[in-house]
Structures are given as structure tokens and as C-alpha cells.
Structure 1
């Protein structure tokens, strides 16, 4: 088994420790531990290792699923990994651009066909997806809202994806980590029927990246198989993460109201900034956008590398998502940090204009 290097993470590893402003962060601003009871008691394994049954029941209810149809994991990254390990046979189809693991992990287990969203509005051609499916396709993969573009596929589009997957005997796996940042979130894919699988976490929408707490919800046979793989990864979710995540879910309405308001204000601010500099994006849902690079730079990578070296502001190069003419910007960070980052980016663009 071989897997491609994770280009975005390797880029971040080179620069993020020393950068003053992380303007490529993909989640909402992190909450402070002072808001939560941070004493989970015994720091042993979570028992049962799939997660606390009463908490799984509460999470499962949002998917119209039982607690046996939910598995708690160490973040959505592990949820995706163990689910791919459980589901993959010979072939998968992944909608791109996307978070690299949603393509690279299934590709490490089998063969992946990609179907591209079409810029500049990142539309999805359902007929192209249909054509990419094969009789042996095990899983169709989508990230909605999308990272990096911020495109939120419509309910009609997601239903069409589910229908063609189900008709083919293929699971539809949707990474929904940004779903609850939408003002009107779509129903989760795991609630759509026997072929629907959803992964998520408290990282992006709840501002709890450090908890490393996520889950997968779906049919019992998928959850049982994913749990079998999880026995070989982390065994159980973090007891600390589960303890804090439970409190966040209890306060979810309050937290999401704050985070959606912050995302909306920052989205407007960044949109105005980009327009003033002649850069374009598809207005995103969530806290990521995927603008075009400024004139005068050969690629998004050269733009991002020059910016971080000159201004200590880190953006994400678009080639990490297969689009070298773009870059990823994140606007979920604190307002003062966002303004500082944009101020430095403004000075940088003025020098290189």
C-alpha cells in the first residue's frame, strides 16, 4: 500500500510554525478551554471503544440513525480513513477539487476516477459522474460544502448523486464537516437511505480542532466494518475530546449562531478585499475560498511562498488541490488576525502590482 504525500500538509509543515498569520486555516476560530469543563475524570480508553452509547444516540438522531449506526473517531480524518478502508474494493469516484485525503486514501486501496467541479462557479456535471461509475464502484465521494472552493451543492444535486449511487449499488460518502456553517444546512447524506454515509467532526463548525473528535454515520454494516479498522488505528476516540464535544453539542445552537455570524461578516470582508484587487472567487459557504492568483505570479505556489517569506502570512497553494492558478484563503480566524493578514497582503500586492 502506497499513498501520495499530502501536499497541503507538507506545505504547511514548512511554514506554519513560524508564520505570524495563518490565513489558510480551514475552520472557525478555536474556542477557549475556559468555556468548558475540561475534567473528563479517568483518562483511560473510552468504553465502549466506539464511543459513549448515549452520546452516539444523540449524534445518530440527526441522521435518523441508531447509536449502532454511529462510530466516534479521532477527527473526521480518521472517520474518512477507516470508512474508506471498510468500503473500498476495486474502484471509487471522487468529486474534485477536494481535501486530498478524500482522493488519496481510496486511491491507496484501489483505483479512483475523478470528476471535476467546473470553475468559475464550480458546477457539477451529474452526467459526468454517472459516466464515471462502474459496476464495481464501491463508493462515490463528495465534500459538501466543498473544501477548497466553498461550493455548496444543492439538495437536488445531492439527491441526484445519491440516486445514481444507490442505483449502482454504490455508497455515497459525504464529508460534511462544514455543513453546519451553512445558514440553511441540507439534510445529511446518512439520512437519505441505505447507501448514505456521512462523516463529520467538531473541528470546523464548532471551533474545537484540538479535541480531535469526529464520527461516521451510516448503515450498520459500514459502521461495523469501519470499527474493525479502527481497532488497528486509535482503538477509541479521545476521552477528553468526547467530554468536551458533548458539551459543545449541548450548546450547539449558541455556538453555531456565533460562528455563522462571524463567517458571514468575514466572508463579506474578504470578498470586498479580493474585488478591490481584481481577484475573483465563487462566494463560498463555510470559511474557505479559492480565489484566482494575482497577475505577475507563475503559480499559486510561488505566490504563497513569496508572501509568507516577505510578510509572514500563510495561504494555501492551489496546486495542492490540482489548480495551480488559485490559492486557498481561510477567513474563520479571529477578526483582528484576519485584518492583520489582509493588511499585510494588501501591502504585498501593492509592492508586486
Structure 2
């Protein structure tokens, strides 16, 4: 199996460590550990290694599924990876809605043939008919993330249900990466709640601000859980004991307060970026989540030229849009603390002004 270089991670590896401000981070600002009980007791493996049964049952209830249809993972990245390994083999086919987080197309492309269905700028609308046209007899899965990364587009429930029906009619699955879902003021029903052909992946990273826990999950049919769990024996074996311990608290009695704080924080920062975009004549689709996909300012060859200038002259990291297939745009993450966002936007503005 050969897999493409993960362009975004290599860009971060090149620039993130030395830069002053990370303005391309795709999650909400991290919570402090002192708001949780951080003593899980003995630091052994989680037993059973697919995750604590009681907590899996609590997560399953969110989706109207059974505990045995939930697998705890090392973040949503592993959840997606294991799901693809369980679903796809040589000779199969997948349909992936793009632009999206690279792992959602690169991993399937390493396993089988993939058809990409592009969203339509500037509103990034998803056309279910285009997905239906891409379906083949050998299609095993349709892949979407909602809200979308990098555009922030939140596809409406009717569209997502249409995708589910298209996949189910083809005896395929609809896999939805839903890591930003709970940052929406009124989250849509998760895909796994729509029927047995729905697969949801998520984590406590993006909406809860707990990236360091590396705690996520996949909700999928029990027979696929068994296959994914077998693959997990060869990756991380079990979820983190510490991560599961804190995640239980974040998903329990603290969740309402955490999500309220994080939604308010994202909304305030989104207004800051909207004002910045307006000041410099940049277009974007008003996003749900903490990512925006903006047009490149005048005076630069493309977004990579712009992002390189920003990091080299202002020590601020943005993400060039060619990493998502759109060289005329760049991704900005606005989930970081407000003072860092303001300083980062000021520095980016200085760079734009010098090239005007």
C-alpha cells in the first residue's frame, strides 16, 4: 500500500515550530487540565481494548445505536483510518466529497479507486445528484465531512439524508466525519442515527478543545466494529487510559458548559475574521466550526506565495489552499485565543499592505 504525502502536516512540520502564531490550527483553543480530575488511577491498558463498555453505551445513545457499534480510537484520525481499512480493498470504489481533510481521500486512494465529487464555490454547495452519478456497482462508501474542513460549509439535513439514501440504495455506506458538528448552535442529527448504512466518526478534539487527549470514536455496524477492532490491535491496541478518563468527564456533566463556552468563543472569533476579510476585500463562505477558506489577496502569485510571505515576514502560519486543491484560497483557523487571533490578523494585514 502506497499513500500520498500528507501535505498539510508537512507544511506544519516545516513552519509551525519556529513561528510565533499558528493561524492555521483547525480546532478550538485547548482547555486547561485543571478543570478536570486528572487521576485515572493505574495507567494500564483500557480493558476491554475497544473502550469502557459503560462509556461506549453512553456514546452509542447519542446515535441511537448499541454499545457494540462503538469503537474508541486515538482521535478521529484513527477512527477514519480503521473504518476505511474495514470497508475497502483492491477492486472496491469510494466516492469522496472534496475539498476535505486530506486523510479522507488519501487513505481510500491508497486502498482502492476513488471518485472525487467537488463542492461548488463560492457557497460550496453539495449536489447529491453529482454523488449519485459517481456511484458504481463496486462502490462501498461515500465520504463527506460536515461541517466541512476547510470551507466551514454545513450541509443541510435534507442534503445529508439524500446522500444517505443514495449510499443505502447502492448497498454502500455513508461515512461522515463529524468532528465540528457540536460547534454548530443547532447540530444536525448525526449520520449514524440515520440508519444502519450510516457511519459517524468524531472526537473530543475540535468541539471540546481536548486535542491532547487523542480520544475519538467510530460508530458503525457491529460486524465492521469487529473488523476495525482487529485492525486496531495492530495500531494503538487500546484507547488512552488518561484520555478516556478525562473524556468521560467532558462528555458528561461538563459537556453543556464546555460546548456553550466554545460556541461563544468561535462566534466571537468568526466575527473578527469576517471584519478582517471585509477590510481586505477577501471572500469566504461564512463558516460553521473554526475554519474559513478565504480568497488570496491581490499582489501574490497564489495562496502558497502568500502564505510563504506571511510566515517568513510575520511569523504567522496559514494553510495554502493548494493543499486542498484550490491554489487561489487559503485556510485560516480562528479557534485560538482571541488575543492571539487579533495579533495574527494584524500581522497578516501588514503583509497584505506591503504587497498592495
Map of 1:14-53 to 2, 5 A cutoff? Answer: 14-53=14-53
- Asked if residue 74 in structure 1 is aligned to residue 91 in structure 2, the reply is no
1:219 Cα deviation (Å)?
1.3
User: What secondary structure, in the 3-state scheme, does the structure 1 residue paired with 2:189 have?
Assistant: coil
C-alpha separation in 2, matches of 1:27 and 1:37 = 23
C-alpha separation in 1, matches of 2:226 and 2:167 = 21
For 1:319-350, what per-residue CA distance to the aligned partner results, in whole angstroms no more than 9, with x for missing partners?
00000000000000001100110111111111
Map of 1:237-256 to 2, 5 A cutoff? Answer: 237-250=239-252, 251-256=254-259
- Asked if residue 346 in structure 1 is aligned to residue 349 in structure 2, the reply is yes
User: What secondary structure, in the 3-state scheme, does the structure 1 residue paired with 2:81 have?
Assistant: helix
User: What secondary structure, in the 3-state scheme, does the structure 1 residue paired with 2:125 have?
Assistant: coil
- Asked if residue 94 in structure 1 is aligned to residue 64 in structure 2, the reply is no
1:299 Cα deviation (Å)?
1.4
TM-score for both structures, normalised by structure 1 = 0.99
1:124 Cα deviation (Å)?
1.1
Flag structure 2 segments of 5+ consecutive residues without an equivalent. Answer: none
Q: Structure 1 residue runs of 4+, over 2 Å off? A: none
C-alpha separation in 1, matches of 2:250 and 2:147 = 21
Please point out which of 101, 104, 107 is paired with 2:106: 104
Please point out which of 198, 214, 217 is paired with 1:212: 214
Q: Which residue of 1 aligns with 2:330?
A: 327
For 1:91-139, what per-residue CA distance to the aligned partner results, in whole angstroms no more than 9, with x for missing partners?
1000000000000001111111000000000011111100101011011
Q: Which residue of 1 aligns with 2:229?
A: 227
1:187 Cα deviation (Å)?
0.3
* Partners of 2:300 and 2:355 within 8 A in 1: no
Q: CA RMSD in A?
A: 0.6
Q: Which residue of 2 aligns with 1:279?
A: 282
TM-score for both structures, normalised by structure 2 = 0.98
Q: Which residue of 1 aligns with 2:172?
A: 170
User: What secondary structure, in the 3-state scheme, does the structure 1 residue paired with 2:332 have?
Assistant: strand
C-alpha separation in 1, matches of 2:301 and 2:38 = 48
1:197 Cα deviation (Å)?
0.2
**Number of residue-to-residue matches in the alignment:** 353
C-alpha separation in 1, matches of 2:349 and 2:109 = 39
Q: Which residue of 2 aligns with 1:6?
A: 6
* Partners of 2:146 and 2:155 within 8 A in 1: yes
C-alpha separation in 2, matches of 1:157 and 1:39 = 43
1:42 Cα deviation (Å)?
1.0
C-alpha separation in 2, matches of 1:88 and 1:349 = 45
Flag structure 1 segments of 5+ consecutive residues without an equivalent. Answer: none
C-alpha separation in 2, matches of 1:244 and 1:340 = 32
C-alpha separation in 1, matches of 2:198 and 2:349 = 44
